[in-house]
A and B are shown apart, each in its own frame.
Chain A
Amino acid sequence: MLRKFLPHPWMTVVVTAVWVMLVNVVTLNAIVFGLILGIIIPIITTAYWPERPTLRNPRMIIEYMLVVLLDIVRANIQVALIILGKRNADMKPCWVTVPLELRTPEAITILAGTITMTPGTVSSDLSADGHSLLVHCLDAPDPDAVVAEIKHRYERRLKEIFE
């Protein structure tokens, strides 16, 4: 019964929070209307998203967000330095394959998004069986180190959160 009424409880929370922030005032009015949207939207869209992703370790999400935010700042400075300071001929762009241990689609999506937003890497494709990720590096003298960093910094944490 509860599962039918609230197919995605976390989505309800997020939709309500987003609505309150869009309205830009924290009043009872806004919260109630946000809650109505937050209950109706997951019920309508549940056909497209039948399975509820498990969140095993919600506290880890905050740590993950902080790590990613820090890395985004680092990434921007690194990429800016590469763009300004290196001649195109000196750069070593390359493709690397990241073998995935994650299996949930939500976790893989977040990992791919994170890779795109962080130091010198863009996730370009997923293998047909969903077990590896094709990543392009802007300037990687040592491709293996890039793979190791992605697996250690992001995939390990995502695995703790989702699986």
Chain B
Amino acid sequence: MTLIGEILISVLLLAAGFFGLVGSFGLIKLDQPMTRLHAPTKATTLGVGSVLIASMLYFLFFTDGITFHELMITLFLFLTAPVVAHFIAKAHLHRNWKPEELPQPEGDSTWGVYATDESETPDTPVKPQE
């Protein structure tokens, strides 16, 4: 039983190291700011995820209790990573792209970054059904 646990944990840690390394390497290798954004938002998720699963398995196999902290880290990571990526993309669009270079949205709207008119804010959300 201990052996199986050790093997599982080692494999997960190796996978984590591999994906973390690839994600960081992607930052150097890719050549445009937008493509560069892809490497850390994804390759690292599985990297960190594997470390967390390995940690949970360790506590499950080698101590007498399970921990939930890893699930919390996963939750916070999943909440923050897309938001940060979205902000970086928006800042980049704002500084380096013109509206003509992007595909147009449906209808006669513009993308949020280029909207200047106050009245052009999103529709009020649908009313909750009682």
Contacts and interface: CB of A to CB of B under 8 A. Distances in A.
Interface of A: 18, 20-22, 24, 51-54, 72-73, 75-77, 79-80, 83-84, 88, 91, 93, 95-97, 99, 103-105, 112-114, 116-118, 120, 122-132, 134, 136, 138, 163
A138 B26 CA distance: 12
A103 B125 contact: yes
B105 A54 contact: no
14 contacts: A21-B71, A75-B42, A79-B26, A79-B38, A80-B43, A83-B29, A103-B126, A116-B81, A122-B38, A122-B41, A126-B122, A128-B121, A136-B38, A136-B89
Interface residues of B, number: 59
A139 B8 CA distance: 33
- Determine the main DSSP class of A at the interface with B: mixed
A152 to B, nearest CB: 18
Interface string B16-42: 001100100110011110110111011
A123 B86 contact: yes
B72 interface: yes
- Determine the main DSSP class of B at the interface with A: helix
A138 B67 CA distance: 36
A134 B45 contact: no
A91 B38 CA distance: 13
B36 to A, nearest CB: 10
B90 A124 contact: yes
B129 to A, nearest CB: 6
B130 to A, nearest CB: 9
Given A88-B30, A95-B102, A128-B111, A117 B122 contact: no
